[in-house]
Structure 1
Amino acid sequence: MSGPGRTLAIMRIGIVILPDQRWSQARRRWAQADEWGFDHAWTYDHLGWRDLVDGPWFDSWTTLTAAATVTSRVRLGTLVASPNFRHPAAFARQVTALDDVSDGRVLLGLGAGGIGFDSAVLGGETLPPRQRVDRFAEFTELLDLILREDGTTWRGEWFAAVDARNNPGCVQRPRVPFVMAANGPRSMRLVARFGQGWVTTGLDGDDLEAWWGTVAELSDRMTRTLEEAGRDPATLDRYLSLDSAPVFSLTSADLFAEQVARAARLGFTDVVTHWPRASSWYAGDEAVLAEAAALLPELRQV
């Protein structure tokens, strides 16, 4: 068995709701995710995303704040926020506010940031992978410090802060959980240092089986990284984005159940699917989502 062994555990199941609808329409989805019993609900933290940049798109943090007001139990997060257009000092204030509004339900997904619209729209240089990880390391360390301590002064290569405040601090102590995206060795070491959760998309595979092979390999690599850092692998939650596979997980409820079970066998504690859209990315049928949601109590028992 890859990853930490799981004999009796509860699998947590989450859903991504893209911020591509006006709130008058989107609020139904967030409220429904809460009512159905999803454990966490996420949205993308982008200024625009892939070919959807030409369509409607709304701010993630405002969306999550609105979602907090129409939900009561589901945890809320970004999948994932990055330093492409965020500064730790200002971002810490947003994180603290959402944790307050949601009464401690924030899961903060963080990543290095990719290329594309987000990295170009502000007129800056598109960074190569090594520099993006350098920036991510500094972003994560500074954000962690500001969220934990009031009055942070810092000057690094990428960011500076002078007496940055965090009053009153997060509802969750000592800060909100970091769920960190990582597939490479340097980012995984950052997860081992700062993360309460790790999220992976797997690597490109020509078919579903090949993709699952990369997921198993990455899970094993994360375990080794934790052990080398002197950290118990059982202290890290593991999230898998099912829809990075070449097949949409909600193609059918049966397929979804199979994918959840397979993730559990690899030691994942959490999986994430996407709310079906009418076309393009994650195109599917909401009726299948409703059928899968009815299976949640059963799917959690792994």
Structure 2
Amino acid sequence: MRVGIVILPDQRWAQSARRWRLADEFGFDSAWTYDHIGWRELVDGPWFDAVPVLTAAASVTSRIRLGTMVASPNFRHPVHFAREVTALDDISNGRLTLGLGAGGVGYDAAVLGLPELSPRQRVDRFTEFVTLLDRLLRAGRADAAGQYYRAVDARSTPGCVQRPRAPFVVAANGPRSMRLAARFGQGWVTTGERCDDLDAWWRSVVELTERFGEAEAHAGRGPGEVDRLLSLDAAPVFSLSSAGFFADAVGRASELGFTDVITHWPRADSWYAGSETVLEAVASEVLPAIRKPPQPAIP
């Protein structure tokens, strides 16, 4: 089981750099940041763009994988984004994982003054986005004439450090986006369904893992070929409420076949409010226990 942590881009770098350094030192396997123009009530800031934040994070870390959780077509075009991806992968020396999502409603979808899309239209757009981004990063050159994206002799040279491209982790709960994740993803990430009850949330996670297994089989992907990531803090209880609660959540996710779990750096208030003391306990007690090899049975 690998453990990742999301660090919101809600602090000036003079303060935020500490979080990224500690995530690396604490032994987390991955560190992610949200990719939004503005997010929920934090839209009034401070709030910073994901690409330069990850670029800066690459300069103060050496081991941990870095990624977007998740980049979306709400305000990104695959031609320009491919250039940003190749730069990030180069600067991080191949430590980039690209989390991708369809993009929802809210500030990001409205701030550019574009018409609101239906759920079906958002998945149509997402399919075009992922398909063109994949082609550009793999082939280095592409043309496209889709409904949402066009490209004329677009380039991504020199390409990613990671070959054939930086890995995609595709966020998906619905059947069409799951099929897209099974087709293009090196990983699939889910938030479960929105629930006010913790047990109901876990039941939704079970159902979604079963559905994704069907999508994998339909795409011809073998068991274990696609990593499975669970965003623990989509549950109605913050995963870092206590070290024991976090350990229990990791255990449940492991039993369901997830390869990775993702938590969030505790904030002073609002979303993901919690204590860094709990985070330190997780780093010193839970992470080593997760990675400790099983002891042989006593004869």
TM-score, normalization by structure 2: 0.96
Partner residue of 2:290 out of 291, 294, 299: 299
Structure 1 partner of 2:90 = 100
* Partners of 1:13 and 1:300 within 8 A in 2: no
Any idea what SS the aligned residue of 2:90 has? helix
* Partners of 2:69 and 2:99 within 8 A in 1: yes
Percent of paired sites with the same residue = 67
1:16 equivalent to 2:6? Answer yes
1:153 equivalent to 2:143? Answer yes
Any idea what SS the aligned residue of 1:233 has? coil
1:223 equivalent to 2:213? Answer yes
Letter in 2 for 1:218: L
1:140 equivalent to 2:137? Answer no
Any idea what SS the aligned residue of 1:21 has? coil
Q: Which has the higher contact order (CA 8 A, sep 6+)?
A: 1
Structure 2 partner of 1:248 = 238
1: CA distance, partners of 2:188 / 2:166: 14
2: CA distance, partners of 1:128 / 1:209: 30
C-alpha RMSD of the superposition: 0.9
Q: Which moved more, 1:20-29 or 1:203-212?
A: 203-212
Partner residue of 2:255 out of 265, 282, 300: 265
1:67 equivalent to 2:86? Answer no
Residue 229 of structure 1, CA deviation = 2.1
2: CA distance, partners of 1:280 / 1:103: 35
Residue 103 of structure 1, CA deviation = 0.2
Query: What is the number of equivalent residue pairs in this alignment?
Result: 292
Residue 85 of structure 1, CA deviation = 0.4
Residue 225 of structure 1, CA deviation = 1.2
Residue 136 of structure 1, CA deviation = 0.0
TM-score, normalization by structure 1: 0.95
Structure 1 partner of 2:33 = 43
Q: Which moved more, 1:15-24 or 1:121-130?
A: 121-130
Partner residue of 1:171 out of 155, 161, 167: 161
Letter in 2 for 1:65: T
* Partners of 2:74 and 2:103 within 8 A in 1: yes
1:127 equivalent to 2:123? Answer no
1: CA distance, partners of 2:140 / 2:35: 26
Any idea what SS the aligned residue of 1:15 has? strand
1: CA distance, partners of 2:195 / 2:9: 27
Residue 51 of structure 1, CA deviation = 0.5
Residue 300 of structure 1, CA deviation = 3.4
Letter in 1 for 2:290: L
Residue 153 of structure 1, CA deviation = 1.1
Q: Which moved more, 1:98-107 or 1:146-155?
A: 146-155
After superposing on structure 2, the runs of 4+ consecutive aligned residues of structure 1 that deviate more than 6 Å are: none
Any idea what SS the aligned residue of 2:224 has? helix
* Partners of 1:239 and 1:268 within 8 A in 2: yes
1: CA distance, partners of 2:101 / 2:251: 26
* Partners of 2:135 and 2:141 within 8 A in 1: no
Structure 2 partner of 1:6 = none
Matches within 5 A, 1:25-44: 25-44=15-34
Structure 2 partner of 1:281 = 271
Cα deviations across residues 184-213 of structure 1 (Å, max 9, x unaligned)?
Answer: 000000011100000000002231111000
Structure 2 partner of 1:76 = 66
2: CA distance, partners of 1:213 / 1:300: 26
Letter in 1 for 2:39: W
Structure 1 partner of 2:152 = 162
Residue 234 of structure 1, CA deviation = 1.2
The answer for unaligned runs of 5 or more in structure 1 is 1-10
